[in-house]
Structure 1
Amino acid sequence: METRVKLVAIAKDEAAYLPEWIYHHAYFGFDSFDIHVNNTSDKSKEVLEKLSNAYNINIIDSDGLYHKGAKLFQTRAYEYSLKKTPSKQFSHIAFFDVDEFWTPNDFKSSIQEYIKKSEQFDVYLFNWAIHKSDSDFSHCFSKNNVLALDLHVKHLIKLGRKYSLGIHNSNGDNLHYADGNLKTADFLEHVKAKVKIDKGCFPKAFLVHRLYRGQLEYVSMLGRGLPNGNRFKSNRKGYKTDKGLDIEYKIDSYLLDNYYQKYETMLENLDLVSDVFDSKGYVTARYQKLLSVIDNGVNKDEAKVLYRALNNITIPEVVRRRRQIKDELNKEPAQLGLHLTKNDLRHPHKTVSLNGSRNKYIDEIRNASLFFEESDPDIACQLMRIAHKLRPEGEFIKHKLTQMEQKITDD
């Protein structure tokens, strides 16, 4: 039958990222999407509804499924989609996260072309290539990308066989597994979540894994918590701490320009520009909320999680809080205070009293600067200078302005 591929993902507060992720996979031939939306307070559903005007997207409200058991939610969501996907309409189904981008090495082959090169396999495995050159709210790809190949994989399966679905891979009787080079996979352990790779070069296809994104986004992500009820993500060891071999993945300028021209056109045609802008503001607000939560007090276990997770972050206001966490941990109190005074949170030589409205407008100028950071660096830098002039004590604004000015100088 015709090769048709459905892609399944879970989305919690992913409105800022869904347009690029959906566009990317449709661009490379994925035919349909099942998006399990759960525990979401941003504009994910509205964004997906607009995207569904151009792409075949099944928006699944999975709050009920999540509340039946958070720990098993991901595999149950995958099982739901597998059961609901008719083999008469689709030949394959894949299971990726919204921060994982299936990428052919040549940046032009479709998923169908890739599968047709070796159709005898039941399961196709793609190693993570962890993105190491992201900046705040940057596009996923540039002409020169620093990626670190990782042994972990995600998978795509052929319909018509019996599978025991997992998050990284699936098991079944007499299944044939392919690695990213369309050769028989060489597993490193019995759970089949890691596959041997040649770390000196990229395979024919891989998953660009935006594990970190920019520093602000990374810190914001920690505030999403975990299904077990923890307020902070506890599975992060720090920012860009991977010790794997970094490799530069280069993309032809013509291919990349064509790719992003079509992406910008899609955003405009589907009236998504303002939604993406607002959603980036949501991510920034979550970052600020996380800092406030730290200031209001965390317990000892949470402090340990945050101290580790915030390793290598260079944003001054975050560095200051991590240092405060360390000092409190060394005291080993039963309940950590971590209350910073207003003077601690301000520039040591300046104090500014901002009312709510003024603060809001400055935040909007800052967010507008972040929105234009990739598409128009000069405008972004001008806006950030305005924000800095209005809020000279703002550590994040000062940090970003330095980055932007340096980037313009380097270019």
Structure 2
Amino acid sequence: MKLFSKQLQVSKLTNIMTGTADRLGVWYAKTRNAKKLGSPKVKLVAIAKDESAYLTDWIFHHLHFGFDELVIYINNTTDNSSEIVSNLKDLSGIKFKNGDPYFLNSKRSPQMAIYQNELSRSRWQGYSHVMFLDIDEFYTPLDFRLSIKDFIGGMWAEVCCLEWIHKMDERMPFLEPFQERIIGRRAQQVKSIVATTVLPSNANPHNMLSAKSCYQLADGTAFQVCLENFSRVPLGELKKDIKQAFVLHRMVRSEIEYVAALKRGRPMTEAKQGSMFKNNRSGTFDNLKNLSIEFPSSSVKHYLSQKKLFINKYNLNEQIEKGKRLVLERYSNVLHMIRVAPQSEYATLQKVLKNVELKDVEEAYKEYLKHNSSGKL
């Protein structure tokens, strides 16, 4: 009886392994065929919290540049993102998912859990490549016409690392992400386009590490990665010409929007906060080391006209304006939070308000100092 049971277990294991091998064969065949035919199939994954003022820009942009599917996990949201989701429910090429369950698990990074699950899922769905971006990050070709599929068609490596360029000089709230000329600042950080054949041994929000994979930069040059340095390019790369594609990062936007973003959303675990403010911010940028980037006028005009049609088609104007009003409300809330913050927030406020020159913020900070003057700051 024991022998029969053991034989049955071996038989089951053989069937499982054979089935797994068959499925892997199908997966590799799909990705190989996509590459041979020059027809990559590309998924883009994002996580969004209180982003209703900005979701439409991001969605339109990446559909415009040819991503096959956008998957957006909505989490911990207090704004009108659900209304935008409702307006776009009939739009093919986009899926909205509930991200809250991932943020209930305190043992694992919710962001990386989503990314790794989506990479695995994308393999079996027949996608050749996947990219992971935040709502303030945009795939950006320098000539403003190069689709993501055309770009991937020129890749020779399994992973392509695109450099960050921070968007600078947004002096007014709610500006268009793209104009014919923008001011930017290059950064060492990368965001990557990853072939679904990659089996990562390590990962962070910027890149995935696999010893068996080849890496390249956007200009086609090889990128040597290791455990200590797989999400940043060497400083020397920033002295070279801007590559043909990069990720535009709107981390700061205007000062009003930056300050508004210091208010935490609905937290899943109060104990993980550490501060009443988002303390992973380091203030706004100074005006050093900026550069000017110009895009073809005709391409940008076409892009903006198409976006206007997209917004009208899906009746998004009202929801975008509502989202903007909520950002301004958050800004007012943060001003109040600064005024009444306890003495223990001194180091955080020094950090997150660095280079912020708004008069309202300066006045709120003076009140904070005044009501804490009895203690030693």
Give 1:309's match in structure 2, choosing from 318, 340, 352. Answer: 352
Q: For 2:261, what is the secondary structure of its paired residue?
A: helix
After superposition, the Cα gap between the structure-2 partners of 1:173 and 1:214, relative to the gap in structure 1 and judged at 3 Å, is same
2:71·2:95 contact (CA, 8 Å) conserved in 1? yes
Give 1:217's match in structure 2, choosing from 236, 257, 265. Answer: 257
Residue 36 (structure 1) shift: 1.1
After superposition, the Cα gap between the structure-2 partners of 1:311 and 1:53, relative to the gap in structure 1 and judged at 3 Å, is same
Give 2:154's match in structure 1, choosing from 111, 117, 122. Answer: 117
What corresponds to 2:24 in structure 1? none
Q: For 1:24, what is the secondary structure of its paired residue?
A: helix
Q: Does residue 204 of the first structure (1) align with residue 241 of the second (2)? A: no
Alignment of 1:179-328 (within 5 A): 179-186=217-224, 190-196=228-234, 197-224=237-264, 228-229=272-273, 230-241=275-286, 245-295=289-339, 297-326=340-369
Question: Where does the alignment leave 5 or more consecutive residues of structure 2 unmatched?
Answer: 1-33
Question: Where does the alignment leave 5 or more consecutive residues of structure 1 unmatched?
Answer: 335-411
Moved more, 321-330 or 38-47: 321-330
TM norm structure 1: 0.76
Give CA deviations for 1:223-247 in whole Å, capped at 9, x if unaligned: 126872232111222112475x311
The one-letter amino acid of 1:125's match is C
Give 2:85's match in structure 1, choosing from 42, 48, 66. Answer: 48
Residue 333 (structure 1) shift: 4.4
Q: Does residue 30 of the first structure (1) align with residue 67 of the second (2)? A: yes
Q: Distance in 2 between matches of 1:235 and 1:109?
A: 34
Q: Distance in 2 between matches of 1:280 and 1:208?
A: 21
The one-letter amino acid of 2:101's match is G
Q: For 2:238, what is the secondary structure of its paired residue?
A: coil
Q: Distance in 2 between matches of 1:63 and 1:274?
A: 26
The one-letter amino acid of 2:251's match is L
Give the aligned CA root-mean-square deviation in angstroms.
2.2
Q: Distance in 1 between matches of 2:229 and 2:127?
A: 27
What corresponds to 2:138 in structure 1? 101
Give CA deviations for 1:2-25 in whole Å, capped at 9, x if unaligned: 201100111000111110001111
After superposition, the Cα gap between the structure-2 partners of 1:189 and 1:199, relative to the gap in structure 1 and judged at 3 Å, is farther
1:188·1:195 contact (CA, 8 Å) conserved in 2? no
Identity %: 27
Q: Distance in 1 between matches of 2:125 and 2:349?
A: 48
Q: Distance in 1 between matches of 2:209 and 2:134?
A: 19
Give CA deviations for 1:15-50 in whole Å, capped at 9, x if unaligned: 111100011111111110111111001121221332
Residue 254 (structure 1) shift: 1.1
TM norm structure 2: 0.82
Q: Distance in 1 between matches of 2:74 and 2:286?
A: 30
1:307·1:326 contact (CA, 8 Å) conserved in 2? no
Aligned residue-pair number: 331
Give CA deviations for 1:273-314 in whole Å, capped at 9, x if unaligned: 00000000111111111112223x222332321232122222
Moved more, 320-329 or 268-277: 320-329
Instruction: Identify the structure with bigger relative contact order (alpha carbons < 8 Å, sequence gap 6+).
Output: 2
Answer with 1 or 2: which has the greater Rg.
Answer: 2
Q: Distance in 2 between matches of 1:48 and 1:191?
A: 38
Moved over 3 A (4+): 186-189, 323-334
Q: Distance in 2 between matches of 1:311 and 1:216?
A: 14
Give CA deviations for 1:130-158 in whole Å, capped at 9, x if unaligned: 00122310010112111001001111210
2:187·2:238 contact (CA, 8 Å) conserved in 1? no
After superposition, the Cα gap between the structure-2 partners of 1:332 and 1:206, relative to the gap in structure 1 and judged at 3 Å, is farther
After superposition, the Cα gap between the structure-2 partners of 1:85 and 1:274, relative to the gap in structure 1 and judged at 3 Å, is same
